[in-house]
Structure 1
Amino acid sequence: MAALSQVAYGASLLAVLWVGICSAVCVEVPSETEAVQGSRMKLLCISCMKREEVSANTVVKWYYKAEGGKDVPIYEYNNEKRELESHFRGRLRWNGSADMQDVSISVLNITLNDSGIYTCNVTREFNFEAHRPVFTSSTLIHLTVVAEAREDLTSVVSEVMMYILLVFLTLWLLVEMVYCYRKVVKAEEAAQENATDYLAIPSENKENCAVPVEE
């Protein structure tokens, strides 16, 4: 009987390891750390966990801590979504996925007072026949709320390069126009000089200039 229990326990451990290997397809993406006042901010919390056929009980708890303050529970998911009593009351929305790998929440109409540290705690109890391992994970999000959106460095560089290119093309067009204008003027001057030289030739010389016709 003891040997059977050891075999069952070993099989459970192998199953847990297999869960960890298969969860590699889930990518844990870090949350954004800056929000604009008055916007909707998604606090991203990805907790890669399991294969579809392995069931687990998942409990998610979100906490908020202001600068110099302490952690205050603001949201909880335990088979149902529950917004807790805090200054976020009425402004939190569940953004998690059906497979409970994405356990994110969103803050509506975010304010400057919402800057601080957000903690996402995830507890999972896997349901195996002989063993129920429990795993916990925690994600910290240091969020800063600003009054206005800051310009991204990439967009600034792109804008500067666009203006430089525009100035270069304008100068190149001006140079081409001046070059073509001078070319046309020189052609006209050469034509006028030829016409003047021709008019300056006496009329008898003009007749001698004619090509004799052979009989």
Structure 2
Amino acid sequence: MTEAVAGGGCISCKRREEVAGFAIVDWHYKVPEKEDFIHIFQYEYPLPTVLHEKFDGRLQWHGTMGTKDVQIGAIFIHNVTYNDIGTYRCTFHRTLNLPPGEKHVTIIKEIELTIVEEANPELTAVISEIMMYVVIIVLQLWMIGVLIYCYKKIYAENEDREAKKAARAQKQ
């Protein structure tokens, strides 16, 4: 059981939505001690393509679907092993259709992937679990307080009713 820990995401949003364009997303991988990146994946609408046998059947496109203008270039790696440790480079090749002509923009993001033997719980998950138990205990105590209050009120009404009955019986 291993957990992949990513150091960031691969998102490239346009500044102006009304400008038409299209993007091709490439993913490259570099082993920690090596210098060269290998091309492992490419998404060009509508087809994702795995380009390296090491990742064959293990990479899955989780980026923008249904449009040529890709904004999110995420991939998932399935069956992660220690051999997947390294640097991953995401490259957006975006072509914008501007009035004077096409403009080409390239955006590169690098992500360091580490593997840990045992999944570390996120701080948010730990805090939310603690808060859940605190809320449950507080609500149970509140419910007990409401039950005691209601019981006292009903008991006082019954005592008052019995006192009124006794007073009526004495008058007769």
Q: Return the alpha-carbon distance in structure 2 between the equivalents of residues 127 and 95 of structure 1.
A: 25
- Check whether the contact 1:39–1:109 (CA below 8 A) recurs between aligned residues: no
Give the C-alpha shift of residue 123 in structure 1: 1.0
What is the 5 A alignment of 1:124-143? 124-143=94-113
2:57 aligned partner: 90
What is the 5 A alignment of 1:55-94? 55-69=20-34, 70-79=36-45, 80-94=47-61
Letter of the 2:55 counterpart: F
Q: Pairwise CA RMSD of aligned residues? A: 3.0
What is the 5 A alignment of 1:105-144? 105-144=75-114
Give the C-alpha shift of residue 104 in structure 1: 0.7
* Structure 2 unaligned regions, length at least 5: 131-172
- Quick check: which one's strand share is greater? 2
* Poorly superposed stretches of 4+, deviation over 6 Å: 38-41, 154-160
* Structure 1 unaligned regions, length at least 5: 1-35, 161-215
Percent of counterpart pairs with the same letter?
36
Which has the bigger relative contact order, CA under 8 A and spacing at least 6?
2
Q: Does 1:54 align with 2:19?
A: yes
- Check whether the contact 1:39–1:108 (CA below 8 A) recurs between aligned residues: no
Aligned to 2:70, what secondary structure does the other structure show?
Answer: coil
- Check whether the contact 1:60–1:77 (CA below 8 A) recurs between aligned residues: yes
Give the number of equivalent residue pairs: 126
CA change 1:67–1:40 in 2 (3 A) is closer
- Check whether the contact 2:29–2:40 (CA below 8 A) recurs between aligned residues: yes
- Check whether the contact 2:5–2:113 (CA below 8 A) recurs between aligned residues: no
- Quick check: which one's helix share is greater? 1
Give the C-alpha shift of residue 148 in structure 1: 1.1
